[in-house]
């Protein structure tokens, strides 16, 4: 027997039917012997922030167990009530009826238009951003709030999709924590995608600059911590479309690229964004996790339920400030003798350090954060068999299972991830020992033992790495070991 879906609601222990002409629904609604048990309800919480309601009602009728699923198909109106597009019109609450046959529930699946989720991004133990989005058959709408840096920032985005799942239009807005527009910034950035081009319009109060780029099957590059739209790439990949290198346009600049490539196991790696994040999706191409552990971003994101009040969260967030402040370690060695090390100070934040998340085995680490760490010396330094003449250098560290090496590099002025072994002056073995207590912020000390002897000490987490040296007056020729 075909079981028909019906609209209705639960009242006074009975299911009241709204579909006239359905004998089955009428019998269930009017039966005095119908047993009704509510199995699950994802209801509005105390903060009134849950936007998506689902009720599964179990009904016993004529010896059969009948399940009625009541759901609000689209919760987005409460997220963006002022600028809610017409094609996202919220439908009424619905009930779907089915039976339990041989212990298997033949439940009506939640349609694509009701897929709402959140992603919480953390740097170690600290939450740095939250994204919430709803994916529909014809588009995606979402919002992200992040607190990295000097101010809390919110981003709202919308995407409309063609039948083939590719974007046709998109919009990205940046707001302050209270929802106001930052001064001297665009109120909106709009994208229009055709078969052979992508157009970006940046909307200011007095003008709308427009740039067009020739591109086939173009995508949009979103700001960091907006990774929900990667579900579109995963869906295209599922349909066997090539998604490893697609033209993509961001909020500023020229045409770039985006894409996903196969990683290890069930993971995919993002291409073309600011960071090569590792992404994991379920069988329905729903994003489950975002992992930047192997990038300089180091943040991770995990999927959760929707229904978050992003506006309230934004107002409660406090900016992190500069996450890794610059510091200068210095030591004096006789008249006019100075050794300086300029470096960034990242924090552990409950992460593994040496041979772990922060300094993986065999990787070339920038010895700090952000800009490259720089050594300035007015003395000739001798470290073991290595002679370092007076001058400026960049410092890197390589931690292996058999030892740790300080790399003195002749290139200066670069970002910390820019490293070329061709510019190495020398690699110097370091001594590793335990710190008396946990060191949360990476710390470098140039310790002057006397006017001609000292050590460079690098402490982080449970360990300290050190290199002894002698400092002498005069110039010298670099000597490699």
Mind listing the pLDDT tens digit for each residue in 75-132? 333 333 333 333 333 333 333 333 333 333 333 334 455 579 999 999 988 999 999 9
Determine the pLDDT at residue 142: 97
Judgement on whether residues 341 and 411 belong to the same structural domain of the protein:
yes
Q: By three-state DSSP, how is residue 382 classified?
A: strand
C-alpha distances out from residue 394 to 201, 300, 306, 367, 413, Å: 41, 29, 46, 9, 8
Task: Provide φ and ψ at 310, rounded to 5°.
Answer: -65, -35
Judgement on whether residues 365 and 428 belong to the same structural domain of the protein:
yes
Determine the pLDDT at residue 118: 97
For the chain, residues with pLDDT lower than 50 are: 1-111, 476-481
Judgement on whether residues 173 and 94 belong to the same structural domain of the protein:
no
Domain termination residue (choose one: 92, 109, 126): 109
List the one residue out of 97, 110, 107 whose CA is nearest residue 137: 110
Long-range pairs for 54-61 at CB < 8 Å and ≥24 separation?
A: 54/110, 55/10, 56/107, 57/10, 57/15, 57/95, 59/15, 59/28, 59/34, 59/35, 59/97, 60/34, 60/35, 61/27, 61/28, 61/31, 61/34
Residue 211 belongs to a domain: yes
Judgement on whether residues 239 and 355 belong to the same structural domain of the protein:
no
Domain termination residue (choose one: 58, 79, 109): 109
What residues contact residue 420 under an 8 Å CB cut-off, 6+ apart? 409, 411
According to DSSP, the residues that pair with 159 across neighbouring strands are 140, 170
Judgement on whether residues 122 and 182 belong to the same structural domain of the protein:
yes
In which domain, by residue range, is 36 found? 8-109
Determine the pLDDT at residue 445: 98
Residue 389 belongs to a domain: yes
The pLDDT tens digits for 70-81 are 444 433 333 333
Structure tokens at 78: 């409460």
According to DSSP, the residues that pair with 444 across neighbouring strands are 458
Judgement on whether residues 281 and 134 belong to the same structural domain of the protein:
yes
Structure tokens at 193: 């995608």
List the one residue out of 167, 171, 152 whose CA is nearest residue 319: 152
Determine the pLDDT at residue 7: 32
C-alpha distances out from residue 324 to 54, 128, 276, 353, 444, Å: 44, 14, 21, 16, 14
Judgement on whether residues 48 and 131 belong to the same structural domain of the protein:
no
Judgement on whether residues 287 and 164 belong to the same structural domain of the protein:
yes
User: Whole-angstrom Cα distance, residue 457 to residue 343?
Assistant: 13
According to DSSP, the residues that pair with 456 across neighbouring strands are 446, 467
Judgement on whether residues 309 and 329 belong to the same structural domain of the protein:
no
User: Whole-angstrom Cα distance, residue 151 to residue 147?
Assistant: 6
Domain termination residue (choose one: 262, 285, 316): 316
Determine the pLDDT at residue 474: 61
Domain tally, the chain: 3
List the one residue out of 147, 118, 154, 120 whose CA is nearest residue 301: 120
Judgement on whether residues 281 and 399 belong to the same structural domain of the protein:
no
Judgement on whether residues 380 and 441 belong to the same structural domain of the protein:
yes
Residue 226 belongs to a domain: yes
Q: By three-state DSSP, how is residue 301 classified?
A: strand
Determine the pLDDT at residue 294: 82
User: Whole-angstrom Cα distance, residue 360 to residue 295?
Assistant: 11
Residue 481 belongs to a domain: no
Torsion, CA 257, CA 259, CA 263, CA 265, rounded to 10: 170
Residue 3 belongs to a domain: no
């Amino acid at each position: 027997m075909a079981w028909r879906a019906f609209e209705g609601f639960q009242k006074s222990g009975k299911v009241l039917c709204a579909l006239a002409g359905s004998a089955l629904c009428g019998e269930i609604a009017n039966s005095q012997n119908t047993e009704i048990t509510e199995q699950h309800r994802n209801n509005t919480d105390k903060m009134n922030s849950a936007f998506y309601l689902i009720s599964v009602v179990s009904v016993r009728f004529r010896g059969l167990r009948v399940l009625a699923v009541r759901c609000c198909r689209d919760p987005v109106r409460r997220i963006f009530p002022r600028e809610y597009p017409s094609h996202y019109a919220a439908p009424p609450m619905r009930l779907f009826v089915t039976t339990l046959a041989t212990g298997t529930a033949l439940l009506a699946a939640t349609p694509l238009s009701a897929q709402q989720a959140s992603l919480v991004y953390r740097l170690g133990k600290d939450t740095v951003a939250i994204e919430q989005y709803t994916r529909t058959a014809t588009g995606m709408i979402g919002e992200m709030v992040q607190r990295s840096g000097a101010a809390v920032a919110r981003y709202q985005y919308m995407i409309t999709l063609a039948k083939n799942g590719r974007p046709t239009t998109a919009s990205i807005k940046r707001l302050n924590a209270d929802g106001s527009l930052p001064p001297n910034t665009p109120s909106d950035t709009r994208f229009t995608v055709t078969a052979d081009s992508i157009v970006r319009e940046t909307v200011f109060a007095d003008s709308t600059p427009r740039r067009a780029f020739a591109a086939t099957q173009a995508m949009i590059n979103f700001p960091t911590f907006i990774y929900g739209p990667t579900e579109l790439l995963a869906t295209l990949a599922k349909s066997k479309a090539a998604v490893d290198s697609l033209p993509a346009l961001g909020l500023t600049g020229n045409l770039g690229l985006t894409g996903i490539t196969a990683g290890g196991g069930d993971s995919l790696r993002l291409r073309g964004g600011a960071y090569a994040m590792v992404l994991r999706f379920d069988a329905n191409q729903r994003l489950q996790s975002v992992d930047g552990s192997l990038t300089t971003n180091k943040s991770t994101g995990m999927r959760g339920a929707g229904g978050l009040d992003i506006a309230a969260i934004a107002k409660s967030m406090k900016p992190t400030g500069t996450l890794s402040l610059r510091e200068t370690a210095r030591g004096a060695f006789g008249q006019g003798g100075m050794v300086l090390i300029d470096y960034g100070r990242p924090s552990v934040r409950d992460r593994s350090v040496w041979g772990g998340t922060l300094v993986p085995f065999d990787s070339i680490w920038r010895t700090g954060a952000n800009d490259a760490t720089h050594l300035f010396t007015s003395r000739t330094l001798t470290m073991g068999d290595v002679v370092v003449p007076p001058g400026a250098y960049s410092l890197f560290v390589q931690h292996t299972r058999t030892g740790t090496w300080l790399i003195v590099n002749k290139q200066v002025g670069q970002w910390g991830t820019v490293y070329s072994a061709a510019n190495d002056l020398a690699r110097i073995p370091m001594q590793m020992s335990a710190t008396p207590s946990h060191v949360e912020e990476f710390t470098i000390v140039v310790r002057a033992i006397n006017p001609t002897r000292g050590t460079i000490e690098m402490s982080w987490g449970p360990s300290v790495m050190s290199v002894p040296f002698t400092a002498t007056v005069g110039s010298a020729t670099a000597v490699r070991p």
